[in-house]
Amino acid sequence: MSRAGGRWTAADVPDQAGRVAVVTGASGGIGLATAAVLAARGAEVVLACRDMAKASRAADWIRAMSTDATLGGGTARGGATDGAWPVSLRVVRLDLASLASVREAADEIRSGYPRLDLLINNAAVMLPPYQRTPDGFELTFGTNHLGHFALTGLLLDRLLAGRGARIVTVSSVSHWEGRMHFDDLQFERGYDGHQAYGQSKLANLLFSYELHARLTGLGSDTISLAAHPGVVRTELWRTSPFLGRAIISRWAGMINFWAVQDAPQGALPSLRAAVDRGACGGQYYGPSGRKQYRGYPVPVESSARSHDTADGRRLWDISERLTGVSYPLPRPTPVPASSGLA
């Protein structure tokens, strides 16, 4: 039972002592809020970030805030309220747009930890100008999907080494508008930032659900889940067009307050997927409110396209080829594509 009248909050995050969590994009926004709560509840947290200076400042902030009741629920080990849990943090450089960087980060994490309990694939770019990654991929697809696909595969043996590990991939309400452009995944025939972002967030869900199916086929107790934060005011909007930035700006707060929430609230679906003892593999968590824009985290529906198993397996095969990362998991028995919602 949650502690806020049935609403699941950061206070419901159980003791994470002894657990190791990797959070990508943890230097700001939702990733920072997620990492802060996990650290405050006793987890050893790896902040996997592109900007090391910013990540170091984030780590300092987490240490300073570790006794804040809004992060750790105001409770230390054993139920005491007058002490702070030791905060254990590590910063690892990870540029998801570069497969070389992904491999280097995975090697560093693997060398430090024989077992991982949580991997939260949180980092993303949104609506940047058209760019190519060092590996030649369109930046949004390369970062939001391919980078996380490669990182998860390279860390999978560490996630399988323990008991009950979880992989949480962060999607977006934008996935509802997303379509997989299998004939032009890199938008070489014309770039539209909104379509590229929607495709990447749909790819996140196709990946999460396909990974769940393959882990189930292995008989593993490691599970794959997905989450989305709703509409949140974070730095992710810094590359968006003027109208998008204006909609979430401070001066528009009196108009749009109903549709925009802060980063700690936006982190709750990821946290619930990561730690709620009642969560199951293949679930998708998001805000409970209208259009899933804001609210407290609950299991939510995703689009029919996100449950297309044929697309999920096609994307998986393409991703293995493009990244050069193969997973030691059995291929699920082919089944007709689902037209229902989760």
Beta bridge partners of 298: 286
Instruction: Identify the pLDDT of residue 255.
Output: 37
Instruction: Pick 11-322's CATH classification: 3.90.1150.10, 3.40.50.150, 3.40.50.720, 3.40.50.300.
Output: 3.40.50.720
Higher pLDDT, 192 or 247: 192
80: confidence class by pLDDT, cuts 50, 70, 90: very low
Distance CA 331, CA 215 (A): 10
Which phi and psi (to 5°) does residue 16 adopt?
A: -110, 15
For residue 134, pLDDT over 50 is answered with yes
Give the pLDDT of residue 247.
43
Residue with more model confidence, 74 or 202:
202
Query: What is the mean predicted confidence (pLDDT) over 232-258?
Result: 47
267 φ, ψ to 5°?
-80, -15
The region of weakest confidence among 151-155, 189-193, 329-333 is: 329-333
% residues pLDDT > 90 (the chain)? 80
Q: Are strands 166-170 and 88-93 parallel, antiparallel or unpaired?
A: unpaired
Beta bridge partners of 18: none
For the segment 188-195, the average pLDDT, to the nearest whole number, is: 96
User: Of 4-13, 183-192, 262-271, 305-314, which range is least confident?
Assistant: 4-13
For the question of residue 293 being annotated catalytic, the response is: no
| Mean pLDDT across 23-48 | 97
202 or 258, which is more confident: 202
Q: How far apart are CA 302 and CA 172, in angstroms?
A: 10
- The answer on pLDDT for 253 being more than 90 is no
Residue 192 has pLDDT above 60, yes or no: yes
Residues 338 and 332: their CA atoms lie apart, in Å, by: 14
Handedness of CA 66, 67, 73, 78 (dihedral sign): positive
Q: DSSP assignment of 287-325, as one string?
A: ESSGGGSSSSEEE----GGGG-HHHHHHHHHHHHHHH--
Mean pLDDT of the chain: 88
Which of 113, 130, 191, 197 is the catalytic position?
A: 197
**What's residue 65's pLDDT?**
87
Contact in structure between 106 and 151 (CB atoms under 8 Å): yes
Nearest C-alpha neighbor of 167 from the set 182, 151, 183, 191: 151
